[in-house]
Amino acid sequence: MARWEPNAAQRLAAAALELFDERGYDRTTVLDIAQRAGLAKSTFFRHFPDKRAVLFGEDPLTGPLVAAITAAPAAATALEAVARGLDALGRDIFTAERHAFVARRRAVIDAHADLQEREALKGLHLTAALTRAVTDRGVPALAAEVAAQLGALALATAYERWIEAGGTEEFGTLARQALDAVRSAASGL
């Protein structure tokens, strides 16, 4: 592959996941990733500060979630607004075309405690962003936090189901089912 071809960051991310899968995260170097992508090591560092950033550098979830919550009708409840955010992830992020990449990324993270810790921290940031978005709709702080936590649980549940289904089921449908199950479980407490 020529060095000048577009989508260097995507090529680097794909190469990194292939190598992490083949050799393991710890035995893969930045140089290995760059070479697999057909790029120079310096190109890698123009896009990522280190190899961990390939997995965590960009946050594709927060923007669509917050935008959809913000755009929800004024009459929507906090959980209805969160549900619209989950729908947005199904349309924009968790698509059948991206399933292989997302599943491979998850497998790499699941194999390393340090990466799992980073993923958990990322989840906390996402939940905080959800809380702010719901609070910005005029929902009291505690109710916004509860809606965000329930939404985060529904997101995690739907994510697991989507990965297990091989991307054959629509994420939005799974997320709505998970949110309904979470809501039902919470009401029975």
Predicted pLDDT of residue 43: 93
Cα→Cα distances 142→52, 71, 130, 134, 146, Å = 34, 21, 13, 10, 6
Largest CA distance in the chain: 59
Asked whether residue 63 falls in the same domain as residue 49, the answer is no
Q: How many domains does the chain have?
A: 2
Domain membership of residue 1 (yes or no) is no
Indicate whether 118 belongs to any domain. Answer: yes
Same domain? For 85 and 178 the reply is yes
What does the angle CA 117 – CA 9 – CA 55 come to, to the nearest 5 degrees? 10
| Domain harbouring 24, CATH code | 1.10.10.60
Do 76 and 37 share a structural domain?
no
Q: Is 175 domain-assigned? A: yes
Decide: 170 and 160 in contact? Cβ < 8 Å: no
CATH of the domain at 84: 1.10.357.10
pLDDT in tens, 131-172: 999 999 999 999 999 999 999 999 999 999 999 998 789 999
Whether residues 94 and 175 fall in one domain? yes
Cβ atoms of 134 and 81 within 8 Å: the answer is: yes
pLDDT at 170: 92
Spatial separation of the C-alpha atoms in residues 110 and 104, rounded to whole Å: 10
What does the pLDDT look like over 26-52, one tens digit per residue?
999 999 999 999 999 999 999 999 999
Question: Which one, of 186, 56, 69, 74, lies nearest residue 122 by Cα?
Answer: 56
Structure-block tokens of residue 166: 């091989």
Same domain? 183 vs 107:
yes
CB-based contact 38:2 (threshold 8 Å): yes
Residue 58: predicted pLDDT: 74
In a domain, 86, yes or no: yes
Prediction pTM value: 0.85
Domain, as residue range, for 84: 59-187
Q: DSSP characters for 58-97?
A: --TTHHHHHHHHHHS-TT--HHHHHHHHHHHHHHHTS-GG
